[in-house]
Amino acid sequence: MSQILASQTRMLRQKGNMEDISDDAMAKKFDEHLKKIQSGIERHRNIECLYVNYEDVIKNPSENAYYVAKFLGKDLYVGAMVRSVNKTLRRDRDV
């Protein structure tokens, strides 16, 4: 969560939209937002959702690309999906 908050704070500052809000308050708002989205997905039986973990995608891109292709039921270019994972773009690793 700390990495998400650091990234979100940096983005808001760059946009000039940063209000004085503590990390705890930001975390609470983010958690509420996620719960609202998950609840909406669960209410709609016609929506299927595949959850992927960012860290796992970075560590195991091949496995996750395969799961995404299988979930979508499409003949996707899994190799290209794997090559698109760029570990150097990851920010706020030390948070």
Q: What is the DSSP string of 1-40?
A: -HHHHHHHHHHHHHHT------HHHHHHHHHHHHHHHHHH
Higher pLDDT residue, 2 or 37?
A: 37
Q: Roughly how many angstroms between the first and final C-alpha of the chain, as a whole number? A: 9
Instruction: Please say whether the beta carbons of 64 and 72 come within 8 A.
Output: no
Q: What is the mean pLDDT of residues 59-72?
A: 94
Instruction: Please say whether the beta carbons of 50 and 63 come within 8 A.
Output: no
Q: Domain spans of the chain?
A: 1-46, 50-89
pTM, rounded to two decimals: 0.65
Say if residue 9's pLDDT is above 80. no
Say if residue 8's pLDDT is above 70. yes
Q: Quote the percentage of the chain above a pLDDT of 90.
A: 44
CA 58 to chain CA mean position, Å: 12
pLDDT in tens, 36-51: 999 999 999 888 999 9
